[in-house]
Amino acid sequence: MTRTKIAEGALVLANGDIFEGDIIGAIPANGISSGEVVFNTVLSGYQEVITDPSYAGQILTFTYPHIGNYGTTPIDNESTKPATRGVIIRELARRPSNWRSEEGLPEMLARLGIAGIAGVDTRRLTRVLRDVGAMPGAFGTAPVSELLAAANKEPGTSGLNLVETVSTPKPYSFGTGKFRVVAYDFGIKTTILRCLGEIATVEVVPWSESATDVLGRKPDGVFLSNGPGDPEMVAGAPNTIRALVESGVPVFGICLGHQLLSLAMGGHTFKLPFGHHGGNHPVRNLRTRTVEITSQNHNYCVDADSLSSVADITHVNLNDQTNEGMKVRGTKAFSVQYHPEAGPGPHDSRYLFAEFAEMMKGS
């Protein structure tokens, strides 16, 4: 039987809204976990979402009401050291049931040091975040007054370089494909590495690796990974990426990698009110006029108009018409805002890895 509850607690947003619930997972230090509260609309794949490094600095709310019903397994982890500040759910499954399950969700959270709160009215919470925007919050067993104070002290994710907290400290290799790819780890997911590993032998390097060092590895292509936080705070990365693009090596970026490539080309980014987090976002491919259902996880977006002189927009989000992809003119560099590896999510967009392979083959 899964242990479902440690103690009664509460979630308090910076605007003073209070949500009661039961604390699960790890016991937060001083009875408080704080971070920027966001919501994700996936119907399944909660383990992959929780272990995505892109949630550094954030408390994750699941809008789907029933979480934990199929348990967890280490094979589905997207990182070895999850960075999320906490998990908020409506109803925790009392007993996981799946042949792959090796551990219940509360036990996994406790082992990874992640605090959670269950029994929260996540429908009401999501409506607040949708109408007001993502905001700091705090939850735990501490008194409400202390939780409110912690929420108001929480800086959120703007103005911080969260990438340096999740990137690998030293290079390592992954995969056995025929091409040679150097992948920047801004917070890379394991499913991305698996997709790249099918087409290339991947050398994963820290976020701050210089262009000279990367080119010295003689790659057939360079990959720019996903990652957390404000792209403008990843100091030095745009200049490094610009040098790589100018060298002529094929470059492919996903999510934060898309934003950093855009900054390298003189573009601008801005923060979305509550971000795009989920596995059901419709995106139109402007080249084929087809619609792809995509997996997304980002708070920042690229201003398409800021790229008009240097790049062609290739994909558009059909929910809000924001930029979802681009190709830099006269180069072998392209990127998408969403997650074609889809861990979790639909696989409509995995063709992009094949396009990257074709680009490397052509070069």
Peptide bond into 344 cis (omega under 30): yes
Residues 276 and 325 in one domain: yes
Write the pLDDT tens digit of every residue in 228-243.
Answer: 999 999 999 999 999 9
In percent, how much of the chain has pLDDT > 70? 99
DSSP state of 299: E
Q: Which of 48, 164, 255, 277 is catalytic?
A: 255
* Candidate list 48, 292, 324, 341, residue with the active-site label: 341
Report which residue type is found at 316: V
pLDDT at 3 over 70: no
**Residue 2: inside a domain, yes or no?**
no
Check which CATH number belongs to the domain holding 246 and give it.
Answer: 3.40.50.880
Whether 255 is a known active-site residue: answer yes
For CA atoms 41, 56, 226, 46, the dihedral sign is negative
* pLDDT at res. 81: 85
| CA–CA separation, 52 and 181 (whole Å) | 22
Residue 143 sits in the same domain as residue 68? yes
186 and 333 assigned to the same domain:
yes
Residues 102 and 200 in one domain: no
- Per DSSP, the three-state class of 68 is coil
Note whether residue 271 is domain-resident.
yes
Same domain, yes or no, for 138 and 262?
A: no
pLDDT in tens, 34-63: 999 999 999 999 999 999 999 999 999 999
Task: For the chain, give percent helix, strand, coil, nearest 5.
Answer: 25, 35, 40
Residue 29 shares a structural domain with residue 120: yes
**206/224 same-domain check:** yes
CATH value at residue 49:
3.50.30.20
**Longest distance between any two alpha carbons in the chain, whole Å:** 62
Could you give the 3-state DSSP secondary structure of residue 274? strand
pLDDT tens-digit series, residues 245-304:
999 999 999 999 999 999 999 999 999 999 999 999 999 999 999 999 999 999 999 999
Q: What confidence category does residue 27 fall into, taking pLDDT thresholds of 50, 70 and 90? A: confident
- At 5 the pLDDT is 64
Within a domain: 104 = yes
Q: Is 195 annotated as catalytic?
A: no
What is the sign, positive or negative, of the torsion defined by CA atoms of 121, 127, 132, 134? Answer: positive
Domain boundary among 153, 180, 195: 153
Residue 1 placed within a domain: no
- Do residues 235 and 335 both lie within one domain? yes
Is there a domain that residue 197 lies in? yes
Range of the domain at 176: 163-362
CA dist 162 and 234 (Å) reads 8
Rounded Cα distance between 274 and 267, Å, is 22
Last residue of a domain, one of 100, 125, 153: 153
Is position 158 within any domain? no
Question: What average pLDDT does this structure show over 188-216?
Answer: 98
- Confirm whether pTM is higher than 0.85: yes
Residue 336 counted as domain residue: yes
Question: What mean pLDDT value characterizes the chain?
Answer: 96
Last-in-domain residue among 153, 176, 201: 153
Q: Same domain for 183 and 121?
A: no
138 and 111 in a common domain: yes
Q: Are residues 353 and 211 in the same domain?
A: yes
Q: How many CB atoms lie within 10 A of CB 320?
A: 11
What pLDDT score was predicted for residue 276? 97
Residue 330 lies in a domain: yes
Number of domains comprising the chain: 2
Q: Is 339 an annotated catalytic residue?
A: yes
Q: Is the same domain home to 304 and 193?
A: yes
3-state secondary structure of 217: coil
Instruction: State the burial class of residue 161 (Cβ atoms within 10 Å of its Cβ: 0-12, 13-18, 19+).
Output: middle
* 220 to 88, 200, 224: CA distances (angstroms): 42, 9, 14
